[in-house]
Amino acid sequence: MSHHAVQSAKKPEVLILELGDLRAALAAGWGDFRAAPQFGLFFAAVYIAGGWLIVYALTATGQIWWSLPAAAGFPILGPFIACGLYEVSRRRETGQPLDWPGILGVILRQKDRQIPSIAAVVVVFFLFWNFLAHMIFALFLGLQAMTNISSSFEVFLTGNGLTMLFIGTVIGAIFSGVLFSLMVVSLPLLLDREIDFVTAMITSVSVVLRNPKIMLIWGGLIAVLLFAGIALGFFGLFVSLPLLGHASWHLYRRALEE
């Protein structure tokens, strides 16, 4: 058994990150996107089509209010798309050819590895957050059910409405923080090494605990870039998604010992 195989079986060593690492990861991510934009644009398009579908389904059923938690939770449903972007960065790093069959094949192979387990964790989180969002809404605005929420936003400016928005935001932030901590390094780690998903998530949380300031800045950057992308009618995501995907790979590389 080679030294590398033993190495990959145990929990990887977590390194200390600095602001320079964040800048370098973003620069390298931008470099990957510019070098092979067709992949970034393709994966972003798949993602955005899904986003539009969710919004369309909700608008068509007249449940526009639920598109808020759905749209906020949607950016976490893409582990497989993330793997495509990581693979492009990994191949550029190792000088391997960037070909469609190879990269799509790697994504397809993830279904037999640990990524589906991670995706299941994300989905459970997402469903629980949606359930909580419904609960919070019912608690504070349940009695105002007669107003049409999508056309009369002033209901949110009432005492109850503001309290609901505040509590919902706080709980949402906690959820996002926990999920971010579990995912930030685990996804690229699972693509890169033979490791089980629990070890990968523990490693990811260790990176966040070891580098709380840098990871808080990174999480904030992700949120800002994604919401800016969504605010531009999802079109901004054609740039922000590939950039974040490629940069995440390079940050993972800097966060763990080879």
The whole domain housing 108 covers 13-125+184-255
Taking CA 167 as the corner, what is the angle to CA 161 and CA 169, rounded to the nearest 5 degrees? Answer: 100
Note whether residue 162 is domain-resident: no
Note whether residue 47 is domain-resident: yes
Structure pTM? 0.83
Note whether residue 1 is domain-resident: no
CB-CB contact of 233 with 4 (8 Å): no
pLDDT tens digits in sequence order for the chain, 258 residues long: 344 443 445 788 999 999 999 999 999 999 999 999 999 999 999 888 877 877 777 777 766 666 555 655 555 557 888 999 999 999 999 999 999 999 999 998 998 899 888 888 888 888 888 788 888 888 887 765 555 555 566 667 778 888 888 998 899 889 989 999 999 999 999 999 999 999 999 999 999 999 999 999 999 999 999 899 988 878 899 999 999 999 999 999 999 998
Count how many domains the chain has. Answer: 1
Note whether residue 67 is domain-resident: yes
Nearest to 15 by CA among 206, 160, 234: 206
Note whether residue 131 is domain-resident: no
CB-CB contact of 45 with 238 (8 Å): yes
Nearest to 43 by CA among 72, 70, 82: 82
Note whether residue 108 is domain-resident: yes
CB-CB contact of 75 with 126 (8 Å): no
CB-CB contact of 161 with 141 (8 Å): yes
- 């079109």: which residue's tokens? 235
Note whether residue 152 is domain-resident: no
